[in-house]
Amino acid sequence: MPKIKKIIIVGGGTAGFMTASSLINSYGNSGINITLIESSKIKTIGVGEATIPTIRSFYHQLGISDQEVIAKTGATAKLGIQFNGWKNKDSSFVHPFGGFGHDFNNIGFWHYLNAYEPEILDGGLDNLALGSALAKAGKFALPDPIKDTTPIYARFDWALHIDAMLFANFLKDYSLAKGLNYIDAKIEKVEINENNGFIKSLLLDDGKVVEADLFIDCSGFEAILIGKTLGNKFESYEKHLLTNAAWAMPSKRIENPIALTKVTAHSAGWQWQIPLNHRTGNGHVFARDFMNDELALQILETNLPSEKREDARLIKFTPGRRNPWDKNCIAIGLSSGFLEPLESTAIALIQNGIERIKMFFPFDGIDEKVIKEHNRIAQKEFERVRDFIILHYKLNQRGDSEFWRYVAQMDIPDTLSEKIELYKRRGHFVRYSWEMFHHISWLAMYSGFGVLPQNHELMVENMGQSNFRNALNQINLDIERIVARAPLHSQFINHCNKVAS
Ligand SMILES: Cc1cc2nc3c(=O)[nH]c(=O)nc-3n(C[C@H](O)[C@H](O)[C@H](O)COP(=O)(O)OP(=O)(O)OC[C@H]3O[C@@H](n4cnc5c(N)ncnc54)[C@H](O)[C@@H]3O)c2cc1C
């Protein structure tokens, strides 16, 4: 088996340049030659702007600061996702990063609420998460380790809203400066080695032929290597995830936007609103079996938060996945699969995919056993995210359209129904291996949709109701104090831009 001396990354979207920057940063001095090929004639998807906190560890590893990314990508801060109209038409709740209140005596906070304040656990958690309280007040502040000793800060985390194009360009500059080879050309044909079925070379539209030992397919929905060339099977999730298209339409910037992604349910899908510092990203994700394209567009236009900046684009997709590693090709990004962006997971899956390449890096040749383990983990991770997304539909109580009635009654994977059952009976969170979302995220959903455990945990009685109420008052006071002194979200962003310039 050949040793890996040359890597070609195909595609220059978010996946391509995240992969390039990370690999060049890790292997730039190991003698491995890394080249990225993209065609400026084929546009990137151009959406993908809401992230989760792991994005920050991605660029920190590259030696890049939060301020730099905020300044270079028109970013704003993100403290969570606000779900409007999901449980029923008038409902609203936040899925915050970080968490709610804090635990006592190693017993989860939600157990105390369930015993002593069940009406708070039933959809009233927003103000008990520092992140959502700050965001809803239009504010943002980083913890000050000297002044802020309250345990509330142990539950604080944040992410970014980024301009996808600017982010890819920023990582392109970073990678080129570190020695990435770059080719702007369209791949016309892929040559296969007849002995082992491996990819041998790529024929480019300028007539050149380029060879490599390892190919990373970041070609987006085209999946030109993993799908079109190697014929790696795509497993569809259409049975459980019904949305399959989105209209995307940017509108003008909003003054001091709140540090939340907003996702608002409509009659056959939902609308995203992502505030950037120079514009607002909007889109309507919908199920084409339940709504036609014209109506979906009309709903988006009617619900834009600010004046439109560009015409809408229709993006069609099939939810699902494939095994990302096949022979000498590894798929990252949309070429490896797609889940609707309800929980902003695609960029995080790209990041985890890159970490997996590094964990299993085939420096001493390509090994079937390694491929199998790599694909097993990728599958588990993807399925766990799929289940979390299905949960959002399954728990709805809207009943006002065929779509919402259908998804409330549909069959769900066993892995998900077991989780819901255990929470309902015992307030217990099942955590499978390779799960992206920890129990706080599940708690946000159960609370937002009004699912409560039937029985309360007996150990909370050691603390007793009045002691818990006092502790709860203290948590509320701490949060109010921090929110009151925090600067506006826009002041924080302006400060970052100033520091970075
Ligand atoms: C509607 C929608 C909303 C989304 N929102 C979010 C979100 O909020 N948060 C999130 O994390 N993710 C989101 N995503 C996902 C996110 O956009 C993608 O995961 C991310 O942009 C990565 O895309 P990519 O790089 O895989 O593909 P692309 O951006 O499509 O890039 C493909 C690249 O391949 C190149 N290419 C293709 N064919 C060839 C060829 N023959 N020769 C040479 N080059 C070629 C193209 O030139 C391009 O550079 C969303 C996706 C969709 C569809």
Per DSSP, helices labelled H in 141-227 are 164-177
Tell me the C-alpha distance between 223 and 24, whole Å: 23
Token look-up 């390039």 returns 20
* Identity of residue 171: L
User: Which protein residue's CA is at the shortest distance from atom 49 of ligand 1?
Assistant: 12
Residue 112's nearest CA partner among 479, 460, 501, 478 is 460
For residue 333, how far is its CA from the centre of ligand 1 (angstroms)? 7
How far lies 93's CA from each of 88, 100, 127, 343, 384, in Å? 11, 13, 10, 14, 22
pTM of the model: 0.97
Burial 45-59 (b: 16+ CB within 10 A, else e): bbbbbbbbbebbebb
Tell me the C-alpha distance between 48 and 161, whole Å: 9
Confidence of residue 383 (pLDDT cuts 50, 70, 90): very high
Q: Per residue in 290-344, pLDDT tens?
A: 999 999 999 999 999 999 999 999 999 999 999 999 999 999 999 999 999 999 9
In terms of DSSP bridges, do strands 33-38 and 6-10 run parallel, antiparallel, or are they unpaired? parallel
Determine the residue of 8, 9, 14 to mutate for testing ligand 1's pocket, defined as the one with the most ligand atoms within 8 A of the Cβ atom.
14
pLDDT of residue 394: 98
Residue 271's nearest CA partner among 293, 242, 301 is 301
Mean pLDDT of 150-160: 86
Name 280's Cβ contacts closer than 8 Å, sequence gap at least 6.
250, 251, 252, 253, 254, 257, 273, 274, 305, 306
Confidence of residue 153 (pLDDT cuts 50, 70, 90): confident
- Asked if residue 51 lies in contact with residue 78, where contact means CB atoms within 8 angstroms, the answer is yes
11 lines ligand 1 (CB under 6 A): yes
Mean pLDDT (the chain) is 96
47 lines ligand 1 (CB under 6 A): yes
Tell me the C-alpha distance between 51 and 174, whole Å: 20
Mean pLDDT of 154-169: 94
Count of residues for the chain? Answer: 501
Tell me the C-alpha distance between 501 and 498, whole Å: 5
Mean pLDDT of 256-271: 97
Helix (H) or strand (E) holding 274: strand 269-275
For residue 304, give the DSSP letter. Answer: -
Confidence of residue 1 (pLDDT cuts 50, 70, 90): very low
Q: Per residue in 53-91, pLDDT tens?
A: 999 999 999 999 999 999 999 999 999 999 999 999 999
Residue 164's nearest CA partner among 318, 77, 45 is 45
Tell me the C-alpha distance between 66 and 247, whole Å: 30
Domains of the chain are: 6-49+163-239+318-366 (3.50.50.60), 76-161+385-489 (3.50.50.60), 245-316 (no CATH)
- Say whether pLDDT at 406 is over 50: yes
- Say whether pLDDT at 92 is over 50: yes
- Say whether pLDDT at 2 is over 70: no
Closest-lying ligand 1 atom to the alpha carbon of residue 186: 42
Tell me the C-alpha distance between 168 and 363, whole Å: 27
- Say whether pLDDT at 480 is over 50: yes
For residue 45, how far is its CA from the centre of ligand 1 (angstroms)? 4
For residue 350, how far is its CA from the centre of ligand 1 (angstroms)? 11
For residue 46, how far is its CA from the centre of ligand 1 (angstroms)? 7
Name 29's Cβ contacts closer than 8 Å, sequence gap at least 6.
none
Residue 288's nearest CA partner among 325, 247, 334, 254 is 247
| Cα three-residue angle 457-460-463, rounded to 5 degrees | 175
276 lines ligand 1 (CB under 6 A): no
- Say whether pLDDT at 220 is over 80: yes
For residue 85, give the DSSP letter. Answer: S
pLDDT of residue 144: 78
Residue 380's nearest CA partner among 443, 323, 439 is 323
Name 388's Cβ contacts closer than 8 Å, sequence gap at least 6.
343, 436, 437, 441, 442, 445
Using a pLDDT cut of 90, give the percent of the chain over it. Answer: 94
Confidence of residue 48 (pLDDT cuts 50, 70, 90): confident
- Say whether pLDDT at 400 is over 70: yes
341 lines ligand 1 (CB under 6 A): yes
pLDDT of residue 501: 84
For residue 212, how far is its CA from the centre of ligand 1 (angstroms)? 23
Burial 368-406 (b: 16+ CB within 10 A, else e): eebbeebbebbbebbbbbbbbbbbbbbbbebeeeebbee
38 lines ligand 1 (CB under 6 A): yes
- Say whether pLDDT at 486 is over 80: yes
- Say whether pLDDT at 147 is over 90: no
Mean pLDDT of 377-389: 98
Which two three-digit tokens encode residue 116?
């002593």
Per DSSP, helices labelled H in 334-411 are 346-359, 368-394, 402-409
220 lines ligand 1 (CB under 6 A): yes
